[in-house]
Structure 1
Amino acid sequence: MFTSLLLLLSLSLGTETWARDTPTPRRETPKPREDDFFHFVTRPDIRAPRWDVTRMHYGQALAPGYWFTPTYTYVDKKDSGMHVSASPNIYDDDGELVWSGGEVFHGNNVKDFKVSNIDGVDRLTAVYTLNNAYAILDDGYEVIQVVTPPRIGSVNLHDFALADNDTKALVLTQDRGLVPQEELANVGCDGEQFVHWPGFEERDTDTWALTFQWNARGHIRADETLVEADCARAAWDTWDALQANSVDKFPDGEYLLSLRHSDALYKISGIDGSILWRFGGNYSDFEFDNHFPGQNDARVCEQNETHTILSIMDATVRPGEPDKSNDPPRGMTILLNTASSPMTAQELSTFDHSNHIHGRGNMQPLDGGNTLLSWWDRSVIAEHSATGQLLLNASWAAQLQHSYRAYKYPWTGWPRTPPDAYAWAAEHQQRTEVYVSWNGATEVAQWQVYEVKDSKMYPIGTHKRQGFETLMTYQGIIKEVVVFALDAEGVVLGRSARTETDVQLNPKHPTIALAPPISEALVQQQERDPLHSSNVWLFWGAVSGTILVVFGVRAARRYRWGRPRKSGRKLDSLLKISEEA
C-alpha cells in the first residue's frame, strides 16, 4: 500500500491543497451567556459548553464516533456570575452532550482527553493538570489507575501518547538548568539564565517501568529558539526557549519530538539519544518550500527504508506573537525523502480552515479516510473527507472557553451509576413532567416510565431518547415514578431510583436549585482531598526551603509511577497515599 502511494505521488504534478479560502479577520470574543452552556434538570451540576455545528456536505458520511473535548481554560465564574466548571466532555456529531467528567476531575482543567487502547482494552486517558498526573478510566468512567511523575515539576502536560502497538506510553518531561553562556550570548543576553530543557520518557503500559528516557540538554541548543529572549528576565525565572508539545515513535525504534518554539521536528536515536535529523527551523536538514511556525501534534503516519510520512498541525504563528503570514491554520501531511542528498520534504495534502484561527491544536486521521482537526482558539473542530472537502465545522458557543486538542473515536460507555430522574407536577394543571438522563450511557435508545403505586409498578409510557436529557409529559398527577433505560432491541440497561414527584401549586417550570459555584465546591473538595491540600503546601515549599525539607519525603512517596490503585469513581480516592506507602 505504501509503495503504491509513493508511485502515485511520483506521478503527481504537484501538491494538492484543499479548502484554502480567504481568511477572515479575527473578531473580538464576546462575553459568555448562560445559553452558551447546557442546563439539565436532572443534573444541575453539569454546565458543559454548547456547540454551534454546521454541516457542509450531508451527502458524504462522517466518520463514526464521538468527540472527546477537554476544557483547557474556562469562564471566570466570579466575574460572569455563572456556575460553569471545567471538565472533559464527550459529544456526538450534533454537538449533543454524551458525558461530562466535571464530577470526576473536580471541575479542574484536563488535557489530551482521548480513547487509548491499553492491554487490548479501550480506556479513557487524560492529563490531570492540577495533580500533574495521567488518569486512566474504564468504560464505566471510573478511574482505575493514576500514573504520576517521579518528581514534582518534571512533567510536561501537553501529551500522553502510546507506541509499539500500545504497549508503551510516551510522556513529555522537562528539566530546569542553566543556559550555556555561548548560547545565551547568541540570543543577545548575558549573565545567568535558567531554561526548561524538554525531554520525554517511555514506559511499559503493563508495569509502568521506565524503558527509555531522553533530555534535550547536550543535544539541542537553547539558541535554536525562534522566540525572542527576554534578557531582563530575573535569573530565577525559567525561560521556555524550546517547549515540547508532542512525542511519537517511528516503526524503526527512533523517536519524533516536536519543539514549537524552534519551529522544528527532531528525529532522536533510540540507542544513544543523538539527533539523527532536524526538520524545520533555522537548522533544518531538509529542503522544503514551506514552513510551519508554532507547530503542534507531530505524528508518524508511515515509514519505509527511504521515505516517511508525517502529519502535523501547523498553527501558522508561534504563541504570543503577532500573525504576520496571513496564512490560514492547517493540518498537513508531509512526505520526507531521507534517502536523497540533500534530504527533501514535500507536502502531500493540507487541510485549511477558512476562519483565521490560531493556537494549539491537533490533526487526527479517522477510520475511512476522513481527517479531524481541532484548534484551541474558539475550540474549533473540523472534519474533512478523504478528498479534502470540509464536511463539518463546529465551535463552542462560549468563546471564552477553549479546548486543548479534540479527538474522535468510536466509544461505548456503561456508567456504573444509575440513571438520574426527576418528576415534577403543577397541581393546577394536572400534568406531570418526568425528566431523565444517564451521564455517559451511549447505548440508550428509549426510556420506559413506570408509575409506582402501593409498591407495585405500572407502565405508563415508552419514549425515544432525546439527547442527554429527555422530557416526558403525562396528564394527571403521578406521585412516584421509576424510569428504565432500554437499548434499541428493548433490552433493559438500567433503572433510576424510585422518584417521588415534586408537586407544586402554580409554577410554570420545575424549581431546581443550581449547583454551588465550582470555586466553592473545589474548596470543599480540596479540604477533603489530602493530595490537593499537599499541592498547596508543596507550592509554598518552593518558596521556603524549610517547608520543602519537612514535606519532601512525603511528596516523594506520593509521586510514584504506576502504583496500582484501588478502583473508585473519583480521582481523590485514587490519589490518596495508601497505608502501605
Structure 2
Amino acid sequence: MAPTGEDDEAARGVTRRAWLGYASAAAGGVVLGAGGTAAGFTLVGDSDRAGDSAGSEESSDAGAASGAASGAASGTAEPSAPEPRRYLSNQLVAPDVSVETTGAVAAGLLFTGGRMSVFQGAILDNDGEPVWLEPDGRGVADLKVQTYRGRPVLTYWAGNVFEGWGTGHGVILDDRYRELATVRTGHGLAADLHEFTLTDRGTALLVSYPTIPFDLTPVGGPAQGWLLSNRVQEVNVQTGEVLLDWVAEERLDLTETHEKPGGSRPGDTPVGAFDAWHVNSVQARGDALLLGFRHSSSLVLVDRRTGEVRWRLGGERSDFDVDADARFGYQHDARFLAGGPDGSAVTGRLSLFDNNGRIGTKGRSSSGLLLDVDESARTVRLVRRFTRGDRFSGAMGSMQVLDDSHVLVGWGTDPSATEFTADGQVVQEVTGLAGGSYRVYRHRWTGRPDSVPDVAAALDEAGLTVHASWNGATGVARWRVLGADDRARLRPLTTGKRTGFETALTTSPVQYVAVAALDGQGRELGRSRTVRVRRRPR
C-alpha cells in the first residue's frame, strides 16, 4: 500500500546544501530581507520509494517530465530546461517564461506548475512575470483557484513526484497565503498528484495509486503480479472522513487497458507494478463522478453513492457512438462544462485535452477538444478542436473553457500554453514553462501576503542598488526606498514603478535601507525590515 504521513518532511524539506547553493547565486554583499526562502528542490528516485512502482517514460504521465532518471529508464535523452530566473531579495527561482499576446485575453492570472527540479507552483502575469512562487520547495501540481466556505482560495497538491504519479496531500491557502487546511486521502493511502478538487459539499476529490498484488494473466503478465490500483476518494475537508472510496479493480476489467506489462513495468515486482488504468481527472457532477483514465482512453461516469459504473465513453468498451473526428486517446482533464443555475456541471458539453498518443508516438498532434455528449441517444459529436500546428504532448496537459468562452490549452510536456478565442483564433502564446506543466489555468486572484516585503541592497562603484519584491502581492504598483545612516531615522530616498517580480532601484549611498510597497493611489501596503548595506566585493 502507499505510504502514509511520511511524505510531509520529504515534500517540504529544503536542505542546507540546497539553501547554500541558491544563496551562493546572489552577488556578494547582498543582504537578504525578511522572508527570504530557498527553492531547493529534490526529485525522489526509485530507490526512495520502496514498495511503489517506477514505470517507463513512455507509459508515465507527470513522470514523463520528471527528470533525467526517467529519460535513462526509457533510453531517451531528457531535454535540458532553460536556465531559470534568479532573484536577490528572496532567493526564489522561476522559469524563464516568454509571452506573445496578439489579441484581447480573458481576465485573470496564469496558474502553472512548470517542472524545474520538481513541479514548481507559480502564478504568472500576462508578461510572464511571477506574482507568486511556492516558497517551501515542495513539488506542486494542479495549482488553481477554487471556492471554500464561500470564498476564493488557492489550492494545490504538494508532495513527492515519481514517474507518473506522486505521494502527498492537498493544500488550501487563503488570500494571505495562510494554510487553511491540509487534506489527505484516508485508509492509509497517500494522495496522488493528478487531482485535488473541492466540491460544494465541503468535500475534496482525490486519487491514490497504491501498489497491490494482482493476477495479471488476462493481459499477458504474471499470475503473482503487482498492479497500481486506482483509488478515487471523496473526503470531508474538515473532518477527514472518507465518504467514498472507489476502487478501479473492483469496477473495471483489466482488459480495458490498452497497455501491456513490459519494459520497466513488467508487473512482476512492486517496483515494476503494472499501470493498467492511470486515472488523471475526477469531476463531481450531481450524484455522479466523471473519471478520466489515460491508459484505456476512456471516461467513466460512476454513481457517487454506490460506486456503480453508469457508462463508459471512449476506449474499447464505449457505451457511446463516437464520431470519427471526435475520438481521443491518452486524454487528460476531462470536464463537463458548468451550466446549471448553481454553476454545477449539468450540460452535455464536454472539454478535454486529447494527447492523441503517449511519449514516443510519432506523427501526431495534440489538441484541446470540445464535444457534445447526448446521454439519451448515446452519441458524441465534435464541436471544435483547438490545435497549434503539429504541437504534440505525450503526457500531461489541460483544457479550460474561460468565462468569456475563450479556451486555454496547456500543452503538458511541450512547455507552453495557448489561449484561443471561441472560434479558434490564437490571442496569446506562453512558452518556456520550464520542463512542462501538468496543467495551466487562468483565474482571477487577489493576494495579500501575511509576510512583509523582501529587500536586498548592494553598494558598488556605480552606487547603491536596492532590490524589492513581495511574493504573492497582487496590488503593488510602485516601490519606495527608505534609507539613512541612522537606522532609526529612515527617510524616503526614491520611488519607482514596479517592473516585475523583483524591482531594482538605484539611489544615493546610505548605511541602512528598507522598502515600502505602494498601491496605485500611493498608499503603503507593507514595509520590509531594515537591512544594513554592505559593499559588493570586486
Normalising by the smaller structure, the TM-score range is 0.7 to 0.9
Determine whether 1:413 maps to 2:453. Answer: no
SS of alignment partner, residue 328 of structure 2: coil
Q: Which residue of 2 aligns with 1:272?
A: 306
Determine whether 1:332 maps to 2:366. Answer: no
Q: Which residue of 1 aligns with 2:480?
A: 448
Q: Which amino acid aligns with 1:296?
A: H
Q: Which residue of 2 aligns with 1:40?
A: 87
- Displacement of 1:40 after TM fit? 1.6
Q: Which residue of 2 aligns with 1:283?
A: 317
Cα deviation 1:483-526 (Å, max 9, x = unaligned): 21110111110111122222357x4xxxxxxxxxxxxxxxxxxx
Q: Which residue of 1 aligns with 2:409?
A: 373
Determine the C-alpha separation between the residues in 1 that align with 2:133 and 2:346. Answer: 45
Identity of aligned residues (%): 30
Change (3 A) 1:288 1:495: same
Determine the C-alpha separation between the residues in 2 that align with 1:234 and 1:339. Answer: 43
Change (3 A) 1:423 1:303: closer
Cα deviation 1:451-504 (Å, max 9, x = unaligned): 325422322222111101111122x42222222111011111011112222235
Determine whether 1:323 maps to 2:361. Answer: yes
Q: Which residue of 1 aligns with 2:151?
A: 121
The question of whether the paired residues in 2 share the 8 Å contact of 1:307 and 1:338 is answered with no
- Displacement of 1:211 after TM fit? 2.5
Determine the C-alpha separation between the residues in 2 that align with 1:503 and 1:218. Answer: 67
Q: Which residue of 1 aligns with 2:202?
A: 167
2:429 pairs with one of 368, 390, 393: 393
Q: Which residue of 2 aligns with 1:468?
A: 501
In structure 1, stretches of 5+ residues that fail to align are 1-26, 76-84, 508-581
The question of whether the paired residues in 2 share the 8 Å contact of 1:140 and 1:414 is answered with yes
Determine the C-alpha separation between the residues in 1 that align with 2:386 and 2:188. Answer: 38
Cα deviation 1:149-181 (Å, max 9, x = unaligned): 334445332101123x3633111134544545x
SS of alignment partner, residue 248 of structure 1: strand
The question of whether the paired residues in 2 share the 8 Å contact of 1:307 and 1:335 is answered with no
Q: Which residue of 1 aligns with 2:98?
A: 52
Determine the C-alpha separation between the residues in 2 that align with 1:178 and 1:504. Answer: 60
Q: Which residue of 2 aligns with 1:218?
A: 250
Aligned runs of 1:137-286 on 2, under 5 Å?
Answer: 137-163=173-199, 165=200, 167-180=202-215, 184-230=216-262, 233-236=267-270, 237-251=272-286, 253-286=287-320
Determine the C-alpha separation between the residues in 2 that align with 1:289 and 1:63. Answer: 31
SS of alignment partner, residue 292 of structure 1: coil
Determine the C-alpha separation between the residues in 2 that align with 1:172 and 1:453. Answer: 57
Determine whether 1:300 maps to 2:300. Answer: no
Change (3 A) 1:441 1:421: same
Cα deviation 1:405-426 (Å, max 9, x = unaligned): 1211111111122111222222
The question of whether the paired residues in 1 share the 8 Å contact of 2:222 and 2:268 is answered with no
2:107 pairs with one of 64, 80, 93: 64
Cα deviation 1:52-81 (Å, max 9, x = unaligned): 2222x23xx21111111124x434xxxxxx
1:477 pairs with one of 501, 509, 517: 509
Determine whether 1:87 maps to 2:120. Answer: yes
Larger CA deviation: 447-456 vs 256-265: 447-456
Change (3 A) 1:47 1:185: same
SS of alignment partner, residue 217 of structure 1: helix
Determine the C-alpha separation between the residues in 1 that align with 2:458 and 2:213. Answer: 65
Q: Which amino acid aligns with 2:149?
A: D
Change (3 A) 1:174 1:41: closer
Change (3 A) 1:32 1:352: closer
Change (3 A) 1:241 1:422: same
Change (3 A) 1:397 1:199: closer
Change (3 A) 1:421 1:98: same
Change (3 A) 1:492 1:345: same
Q: Which amino acid aligns with 1:111?
A: A
SS of alignment partner, residue 195 of structure 2: strand
The question of whether the paired residues in 1 share the 8 Å contact of 2:514 and 2:530 is answered with yes
Change (3 A) 1:397 1:217: closer
Q: Which amino acid aligns with 2:380?
A: A
Determine the C-alpha separation between the residues in 2 that align with 1:86 and 1:436. Answer: 25
Aligned runs of 1:562-573 on 2, under 5 Å?
Answer: none
Q: Which residue of 1 aligns with 2:379?
A: 344
In structure 2, stretches of 5+ residues that fail to align are 1-75, 161-166
The question of whether the paired residues in 1 share the 8 Å contact of 2:181 and 2:237 is answered with no
Determine the C-alpha separation between the residues in 2 that align with 1:303 and 1:368. Answer: 14
Determine the C-alpha separation between the residues in 2 that align with 1:298 and 1:232. Answer: 29
Cα deviation 1:64-123 (Å, max 9, x = unaligned): 11111124x434xxxxxxxxx75311111111011111x32xx23211111121111222
SS of alignment partner, residue 414 of structure 2: helix
Q: Which amino acid aligns with 1:88?
A: G
Determine the C-alpha separation between the residues in 1 that align with 2:347 and 2:511. Answer: 70
SS of alignment partner, residue 249 of structure 2: coil
Change (3 A) 1:493 1:278: same
Cα deviation 1:217-237 (Å, max 9, x = unaligned): 332101110012339542544
The question of whether the paired residues in 1 share the 8 Å contact of 2:185 and 2:207 is answered with no
The question of whether the paired residues in 2 share the 8 Å contact of 1:311 and 1:333 is answered with yes
Q: Which residue of 2 aligns with 1:525?
A: none
Change (3 A) 1:367 1:306: closer
Change (3 A) 1:250 1:306: closer
The question of whether the paired residues in 1 share the 8 Å contact of 2:113 and 2:122 is answered with yes
Q: Which amino acid aligns with 1:42?
A: S
The question of whether the paired residues in 2 share the 8 Å contact of 1:117 and 1:166 is answered with no
SS of alignment partner, residue 255 of structure 2: helix
The question of whether the paired residues in 2 share the 8 Å contact of 1:302 and 1:310 is answered with no
- Displacement of 1:450 after TM fit? 2.2
The question of whether the paired residues in 1 share the 8 Å contact of 2:144 and 2:154 is answered with yes
Higher helix share: 1
Q: State the structure with more CA Rg.
A: 1
Change (3 A) 1:468 1:271: closer
Determine the C-alpha separation between the residues in 2 that align with 1:197 and 1:483. Answer: 52
Determine the C-alpha separation between the residues in 2 that align with 1:425 and 1:194. Answer: 61
SS of alignment partner, residue 115 of structure 1: strand
Determine the C-alpha separation between the residues in 2 that align with 1:458 and 1:179. Answer: 71
- Displacement of 1:29 after TM fit? 6.5
Change (3 A) 1:412 1:389: same
Q: Which amino acid aligns with 1:229?
A: P
Aligned runs of 1:512-527 on 2, under 5 Å?
Answer: none
Q: Which residue of 2 aligns with 1:74?
A: 116
Determine the C-alpha separation between the residues in 2 that align with 1:210 and 1:153. Answer: 11
Determine whether 1:100 maps to 2:136. Answer: no
The question of whether the paired residues in 2 share the 8 Å contact of 1:118 and 1:205 is answered with no
Change (3 A) 1:96 1:190: closer
Aligned runs of 1:13-24 on 2, under 5 Å?
Answer: none
Q: Which amino acid aligns with 1:446?
A: R
SS of alignment partner, residue 316 of structure 2: helix
Q: Which amino acid aligns with 2:451?
A: T
